[in-house]
């Protein structure tokens, strides 16, 4: 069994308003790994803009989970 799992989630800005439009996706990733016996050890973020049509700011979150 793996001792660590590394995953990335891209948080996208809401089309209307402020904040992230997909925090439930991030929550789902964390809860899925917790159900497998891992805990969130480290989270790192990097901001990136998007120049495409209807693009908004993006935050790339890298999550490191450690087996309990």
9, 20 contact by CB (below 8 A): no
At residue 56, the pLDDT reads 65
Task: Tell me what the pLDDT averaged over the chain comes to.
Answer: 84
Q: Give every residue of the chain whose pLDDT is below 50, as ranges.
A: none
SS3 string of 1-18? CCCEEEEEEEEEECCCCC
CB-neighbour burial class of residue 38 (10 A; exposed 0-12, middle 13-18, buried 19+): buried
At residue 11, the pLDDT reads 84
Please list, in sequence order, all residues whose beta carbon lies within 8 angstroms of the beta carbon of residue 53, skipping any fewer than 6 positions away: none
């Amino acid at each position: 069994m793996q001792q660590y799992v590394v995953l990335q989630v891209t948080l996208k800005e809401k089309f209307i308003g402020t904040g992230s439009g997909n925090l439930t996706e991030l929550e789902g990733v964390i809860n899925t790994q917790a159900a497998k016996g891992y805990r969130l050890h480290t989270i790192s973020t990097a901001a990136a803009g998007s120049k495409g049509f209807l693009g908004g700011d993006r935050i790339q979150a890298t999550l490191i989970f450690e087996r309990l």
